Structure 1
Amino acid sequence: MDAEVLIAGGGPVGLYMAAALLQEGVSVKVFEQRQTRNRHTRAIGIHPPALEALAGVGVAAPMVQEGVPIRTGLAVSGGKTVGTMEFAAVSRDFPFVLALPQFRTEQLLEERVTELDSGAIIRGANVTRVRDDGGTVTVEVESGAGATRRSATAALLVVADGARSRLRSALQVPVAGRTYPDHYLMGDFDDGTHYGNKAVLFLEPEGIVESFPLPGGVRRWVVRLGQAAGPAAGPHDLAQLVRRRTGFLPDTSSNSMLSAFSVRSTIARRTVTGRAVLLGDAAHEISPIGGQGMNLGWLDARELLPVVCAALAGRPTGSQLREFEKRRQKAAVLARRQAEVNMMLGRPLPSQLLGIRTAAIGAAAAIPAVNRWAARRFTMH
C-alpha cells in the first residue's frame, strides 16, 4: 500500500487528521488540489473543545501565542451595551474563543504534519475516483490539470475535500440541504474601535453587524444584507454599511480581506461508506455565523482517531463506526440549529420588535446561570 490512510483534502480538518494519525505511527498521504494556500478563507474562531483537540497534536500553544483570545462578547444596540457574555467558566485550559485567520491555522498544522513526515502532503493533486474492494481502497489522483494520473492504495480513505466535495458525489452519498434568506458581506480593516479584544454584536433595525478582533490590530466586520451582494461590492460599500449601523467607519485603505456569502447547510445522510469516512464540510456544511464549521470537523477527526487505529490493528470496528456516524450526525444537527438561532437573532426587525428582542437578550444575559449556559452553547460545549 502507498499508506495506511489516504486523506483527500489538505485544509484544516485534513491536516489535523494527518497530524493525529502520524503521531500514532500511522502512515498517511494527504492529497491537496491547491498549490498555494487561500489567504481569504473565512474561518477565524477556534472554540475551546477544538483547542483541546489541537493541543493533542502540539499546535494549540503556537496558535494561542499568535491569535487573539476573546474572553468577552458584547451585545450593543443603539450605541448602548445591552448584554455581556463572559467565557471564563467554559474551560479550565482555554477560557476564551481564539481568533486566528484560517490561513495561519493551516500553516501551523501543515508545519506539524511536515515535522512528523516531510513527504506526507502532496500538493497539486486532485482525487477524482475511488474504488473499494472490501479489503483496500484505491483512489485515482490527477496532477497538473489532469496531465498526469496515478493511483494510490490504502486501508482507509478520509474524505475532507470541503463543502462541494466531489468525492462525496463519487461515493454516491445523499445529502440533506437547506438554504436560508441570509446574506453577508465581510471584511478585515485596521481596528478603529475602543473594544480591544472583545467581540461585539451590534443588534440594529437593518440587521446585525458582527465585529471580531484579529491579530495585528485588525478587526473583522460582518454585515447582514437584505439580498446577496453584487460582484461590484467593495470595501467602501462595507465601510458605509458599518458606519450607518454602528457609527464606526473602517478605514478602507487598510482593507486586507473582503468576502460575500449566502448561507446554506448540507448534511450527508451517511458519513461512513465502506472504507471511506467523510469529515468536516464534506460531511456537514454549517452556516459560518457562529464559527462552528471548522471546529466541528476537528471534533469529528478527534473522535474518529481511535476507531481508525483500532481498525488498522485488526480489531472489529463495525459497531464503533456506526456509533461514530450517529454521534457526529447528531452533533452536526445541533450545530445547524445553533447557527439557525444565531442567524435569526441577527435578522432585521421593526424598531418596536427589535426593542423587545434586545430587552429579552439583556434580561437573559443578566441571569448568571443563563449567561453561563449560553456561553457554553456558543462555545460548542
Structure 2
Amino acid sequence: MSNPDVLIVGAGPVGLNLGLCLLKQGLSFRIIDKKSGPTTSSNAVGVNCRTMEVWESLGFIDEAIKRGLKVHGTSLYSDSELLNQVKFDLIESKHDFMLALPQAHTEKLLLEELAKNGITVDWEHELTSINQSPEGVTVAIKHNEKDDEFSYRWVVGCDGYRSSVRDLSGLTRACHDLPLHFLMVDAEVSGEISTSTVNILFHDKGMIFMIPMRDSIRVVVEISTDEEYKHLKTCEPDIFREIVAKRYPKINIGRVDWSSAFYIHECLADNYRNGRIFITGDASHTHSPMGGQGMNTGIQDTWNLAWKLGQVKRGEAADTFLDSYSLERRAIGHDVLERSGKLTTMATTTNPILKRLRNFGIHHLADWDIVRSKVANGLSQSNICYENSPLVKHDQVRKSGQLKYPEYQGNKWTLLALNDSKDQLPSYVQIVSVKQLPLHAHYCLIRPDGYTAMYANDITEILEYFRKNHFNLK
C-alpha cells in the first residue's frame, strides 16, 4: 500500500481539523503526535464565528454547539464599576456569538469525527528528520525507540510553538516576549459577575479576564506589576483566591479544577511554506490570548491550505498555486498578532492617562454601532477577505460588502450567474443561477473556502482569472 498524500505532525485542534479538511478534499493522510494521548486540560476555550462556519461545512457544528456554551458579549469593568457591555449581535454571521468549548472537549469532538471515517492518531510517534525532493518528502519517525522512514507528497506541521517540522525544515521566525505574567484557573465562581458574557475587569495591580464555560469559569489574573505576587512561577489555588479577593471582593473563587501560569510570546514565521513542507497554527504564529484568536487562526489556516492541496492533487492547479497559502495566511497571522498585542497593551497599561482614555472610550464609544461592529467582526474574524491576495479583487469585494458566502464552502469553485449560463468552465466550477448580484455584476466567483474572489460582467474575465492564477482550464 502506498503512503498517504499528507503527513500531519501534531494532533491538537489544528492538526485534527486539518485531517477533517483533507477528508473533505478527498486526500489521504496520516496524523502523528509524540504525546501519549489527547489534551486533558481546557487550554484554548473560545471558538469564534468563522471557525463555526468552517465546522458547519465539515458537518458537526450542531454537535459542537450542543457541547459548548454560547457567550453573547463582553462586559467591561473598572474597580467593580461596569463601564459597558458590548454584545456580539453585530457579527456578520448566523453564528453571532462565541462558543466556549474547552480544548479537551474540542479535541474529543474532532477525534470522534475522524473515527467515523476510520482515522486514528498514531500517538507516541515523533518526527526526527525531514528530507525533501521534487518528488516528495522523506521523513524519519521514532516509535518505541526505533526510527523508520516514510515518504509523503506533503508534510504539514501542526505541532505548536516548539514545532519540529518548522525547525527541521529550515523555516524561521521572529520572536519577542512581552513583559507580562499571568496566573490562570478553571474554577467555580460566584458573586456579581455575568455568566453569559466574557468579563474583563481592569485594576491598578492587574486585569482579570473571565470566560464562562458550561461547568466552570476560566479566570486569568495579571500579576506583572503586582509587587506582592509578581515573583510567582506557579498558580496555587489559595493564593489565586487571595489575589482575586483583594482586587474584586464581590467575586468568590470556589472549587478549582485546573491551574496554570504563563507568559506571552509573540512570534511570526517568515514563511509558512518551504517546498512541500507547510506550517500552521502556533508553529507559524503565536501571540497574546487576548481576543481568543490563537486556536481559531490555526484552524482557519488548515481550511485555507486543505482546499489548495486538493486542487493541486487533482491536477486543477499548478504547484505554484500553493504559494498563496503562505501569502494569505501569514498576512492574517500578522494582523492577529498586532490586534491581540494592542488589546493586551490596552488592558494591562499602568499609565494613568491611558487608563482614563481607555475607560472613557469603552464607556462612550462602545455604544456606537460602527465601533461595536468593527470590534466584534474583527475579533470573530468574520471580516477577513484576503484583501492583499492575487486571488481576490479586493476593491470589488470591499465595495460589494459581501466578503464571503459560507453556504458555498466545499471543494468546488462557485459561479453565481444572473442567467442559467451554459458557458464552458472547468469541472471544478459549479454554476448557480441568481436573480441579483452586488455592483450590478453578471457574475460573482466564490472560492472553495467561501470567500468572494471577484465580480465580472463577461465570462472571459473569469477564465482570465484562472489562467493568471495557474489553474488548468482543460
Q: Deviations over 1:317-338 (max 9, x none)?
A: 3442222211111100100011
Q: How far apart are the structure 2 equivalents of 1:367 and 1:330?
A: 28
Identity %: 23
Match of residue 43 from structure 1 = 44
Q: Name the structure 2 match of 1:187.
A: 185
Matched, 1:171 2:172: no
Q: Which residue of 2 aligns with 1:243?
A: 245
**Structure 1: 5+ residue stretches without partners:** none
2:221 partner letter: V
Name the amino acid aligned to 2:181: H
Map of 2:57 onto structure 1: 56
Counterpart-to-counterpart distance in 1, 2:110 and 2:124: 18
Distance 1:321 1:229, change over 3 A: farther
Residue 211 of structure 1 is matched in structure 2 by 210
Q: Which residue of 2 aligns with 1:152?
A: 150
CA distance in 1 between partners of 2:107 and 2:286 (Å): 19
Q: 1:234 aligns with which of 233, 236, 260?
A: 236
Mean Cα displacement is larger for which, 103-112 or 135-144? 135-144
Residue 88 of structure 1 aligns to a residue in which SS? coil
**Residue 363 of structure 1 corresponds to which residue in structure 2?**
364
d(CA) in 1 for partners of 2:365, 2:238: 36
Deviations 1:58-110 (A, max 9, x none): 23221111111111211111222111211112143211011111011011001
Does the 8 Å contact 1:40/1:259 carry over to 2?
A: no
Specify the alignment match of 1:139 in structure 2.
139
Secondary structure at 1:116 match in 2: coil
Deviation string, structure 1 residues 31-51 (Cα, Å, up to 9, x no partner): 011112232352100110011
So what's the TM-score if we normalise by structure 2? 0.76
Distance 1:352 1:270 in 2: 39
Inter-partner Cα distance in structure 2 for 1:76 and 1:337: 24
Distance 1:327 1:279 in 2: 12
- CA change 1:197–1:152 in 2 (3 A) is same
Q: Hey, what's the Cα distance between the residues in 1 that align with 2:19 and 2:351?
A: 49
Displaced runs of 4 or more, over 4 A: 350-353
Separation (CA, whole Å) in 2 of partners of 1:272 and 1:249: 47
Please give the alpha-carbon distance, in whole angstroms, between the structure 2 residues aligned to 1:130 and 1:89: 46
SS of 1:277 mapped into structure 2: strand
Matches within 5 A, 1:1-381: 1-118=2-119, 120-144=120-144, 147-193=145-191, 194-216=193-215, 218-226=216-224, 230-252=232-254, 254-349=255-350, 353-381=354-382
Code of the residue aligned with 2:13 in structure 1: it is P
Alignment CA distance shift 1:2-1:229 (3 Å): farther
Amino acid of the structure 1 residue aligned with 2:337? R
Task: Quickly say closer, same or farther: Cα 1:249–1:82, change in 2 above 3 A.
Answer: closer
Q: Report the Cα offset of residue 357 of structure 1.
A: 2.3
Instruction: Flag the 1:301–1:268 CA change in 2: closer, same or farther, 3 A.
Output: same
Alignment-derived partner of residue 421 in structure 2: none
Query: d(CA) in 1 for partners of 2:332 and 2:93?
Result: 22
SS in structure 2 at match of 1:300: helix
User: Take 1:351 and 1:159, find their aligned partners in 2: how far apart are those partners?
Assistant: 43
Secondary structure, counterpart of 1:56 in structure 2: helix
Residues 204 and 348, structure 1, Cα contact 8 Å, conserved in 2: no
Give the conservation status (yes or no) of the 8 Å contact 1:221–1:242.
no
Structure 2 CA distance for partners of 1:170 and 1:350, relative to 1, 3 Å: closer
Q: CA deviation at 1:362?
A: 1.1
Q: CA deviation at 1:231?
A: 3.6
What is the TM-score when the length of structure 1 is the normalising length? 0.94
Over 3 Å counting, the alpha-carbon distance change for 1:164 and 1:232 in structure 2 is closer
Tell me the distance in 2 between the aligned counterparts of 1:110 and 1:262: 29
Structure showing greater relative contact order (alpha-carbon pairs closer than 8 Å, 6 or more residues apart): 1
SS of equivalent to 2:302: helix
CA apart distance, 1:312: 1.2
Tell me which structure has the larger Cα radius of gyration.
Answer: 2
